[in-house]
Amino acid sequence: MTATQSDLPLEGITVLDLSQFLSGPYCSLRLLDLGARVIKVERPNLGDLSRQLYLSDTEIGGDSTIFHAINRGKESLAVDLKDEEDLAFLRRLMEKADVVIQNFRPGVIARLGLDYDNVRKLNSGIVYASISGYGEEGPWVKRPGQDLLAQARSGVMWLNGDDGQGPVPFGLAIGDMLAGAAAAQGILAALVKRGVSGKGSHVETSLLEALVDLQFEVLTTFLNDGQRMPRRSSVRSAHAYLAAPYGVYPARDGFLAIAMTPIPKLADILELEELAPYRDQPESWFTRRDEIKTIIAGRIAARTIDEWVQLLEPHDIWCAKVMDWNDLMNSEGFGVLDMLQTVERGGEVSIRTTRSPIRINGVRPSSDRAAPGIGEHSAKIRAEFGL
């Protein structure tokens, strides 16, 4: 079942999105999926720089797949921020909008006169969201707020990979996506406040703050454990703070993930007498985890994934096949979620992409509009809001 726009909780909310790349557009995408109208403000001719941010050599309708994925369903308004008439029109839009999102480097939006203090003079109920790389103060403010660089400064890279590998970055722009999600949460809370008091709010977050928040569990351990750095396992590492057998093991035909399981129980099921020295020494499951994992890995390699799953699951051993995307797409578990859709733009663009991860009253929002062309809706928006 698909929700229509009028069924969704943000129907009637207009979002003016001045952001580009990933963090801000991801935020506005989440709001769009909840029913908001998103007007994407872009530079004439050039547009959002992510239109040319290629993850591969695939482009559709002149734009990258990443641009299509994160800007589906939005309207595009081409505005020259160096043109006084265009700036004046943008201010009129802000008078009528509910939400403004921007992720310019700190200081840029103020020079344009479009910062929160100026915008709230035009619209006291505005919910204004700012996303930066590292906040608004401090020595990193002028540094590029780019995902890999934010990961590098956050410490998160030292949680991935095996001990001795050095820092391992995530293979996703997690700082951008998490900052966008945090901004969306703040915007939703601020809209609730406005509904109660009529007052707007300034929501602020950054890539670094979002990445620190991502690590709240392990950072809390670190801060209350003498600030000892975590040590990743040298063998089949999956979590720096968790004991054996937690990890991913090669089977005969793929990889098997095994989560938290008492070593004695696993030793009995796997018939591993080599684990006998560790059975009654729970502290060794962490201090000797490399040796334990090496023993387990030797046994797992002897059978197929299906054989292990059929053996382990009836004993309530938490395990799963490590799937690639083809495995995922062909699985019944993914199919029942109905998380894919096809969006189109005219006759030139047809792209298969994801749907909202949120369901409202049992229904997942969906739309059939692809990402817009640069300024595709400029004439309509200018006519609607007045030239």
> Residue 221: how many CB atoms within 10 A of its CB?
14
CA 309 to chain centre: 30
CATH number of the domain enclosing 365: 3.40.50.10540
Of 269, 287, 322, which residue sits at a domain end? 322
Distance CA 172, CA 185 (A): 21
Nearest to 72 by CA among 33, 18, 104: 33
Reply yes or no on whether the pLDDT at 1 is more than 50. Answer: no
Torsion angle of C-alpha atoms 21, 23, 26, 32, degrees rounded to 10:
-100
Q: Say if residue 67 is in the same domain as residue 34.
A: yes
Q: Say if residue 80 is in the same domain as residue 165.
A: yes
Q: Say if residue 258 is in the same domain as residue 350.
A: no
Q: Say if residue 143 is in the same domain as residue 271.
A: no
pLDDT, average across residues 282-292: 97
Q: Say if residue 29 is in the same domain as residue 119.
A: yes
Q: Say if residue 70 is in the same domain as residue 15.
A: yes
Q: How high is the pLDDT of residue 209?
A: 97
Q: Say if residue 300 is in the same domain as residue 353.
A: no
Domain count, the chain: 2
Tell me, yes or no, whether 222 lies in a domain.
no
Q: Say if residue 19 is in the same domain as residue 108.
A: yes
Q: Say if residue 145 is in the same domain as residue 260.
A: no
pLDDT, average across residues 233-261: 96
Crossing angle of helices 207-214 and 147-154, in 10° steps, is: 50
Q: What percent of the chain has pLDDT over 90?
A: 94
pLDDT, average across residues 77-82: 97
Q: Say if residue 112 is in the same domain as residue 260.
A: no
Q: Say if residue 311 is in the same domain as residue 352.
A: no
CB 80 within 8 A of CB 44: yes
Q: Say if residue 253 is in the same domain as residue 202.
A: no
Tell me, yes or no, whether 237 lies in a domain.
no
Tell me, yes or no, whether 6 lies in a domain.
yes
β-partners of residue 41 are 77
For residue 201, the enclosing domain spans: 2-214+336-385
CATH number of the domain enclosing 282: 3.30.1540.10
pLDDT, average across residues 47-74: 90
pLDDT, average across residues 90-106: 97
Measured CA angle at 378 (ends 376, 380), to 5 deg: 100
Confidence of residue 386 (pLDDT cuts 50, 70, 90): confident
Tell me, yes or no, whether 227 lies in a domain.
no
Residues 156-209 have pLDDT tens digits of 999 999 999 999 999 999 999 999 999 999 999 999 999 999 999 999 999 999
Tell me, yes or no, whether 235 lies in a domain.
no
Tell me, yes or no, whether 232 lies in a domain.
no
Distance CA 151, CA 211 (A): 7
R_g of the chain, CA atoms, integer Å = 25
Measured CA angle at 377 (ends 375, 380), to 5 deg: 135
Of 322, 344, 374, which residue sits at a domain end? 322
Residues 144-156 have pLDDT tens digits of 999 999 999 999 9
DSSP characters for 120-171?
Answer: HHH-TT-EEEEEESS-SSSTTTTS---HHHHHHHHTGGGGSS-TTS-----S
Of 322, 346, 365, which residue sits at a domain end? 322
Tell me, yes or no, whether 71 lies in a domain.
yes
Q: How high is the pLDDT of residue 268?
A: 97
Tell me, yes or no, whether 229 lies in a domain.
no
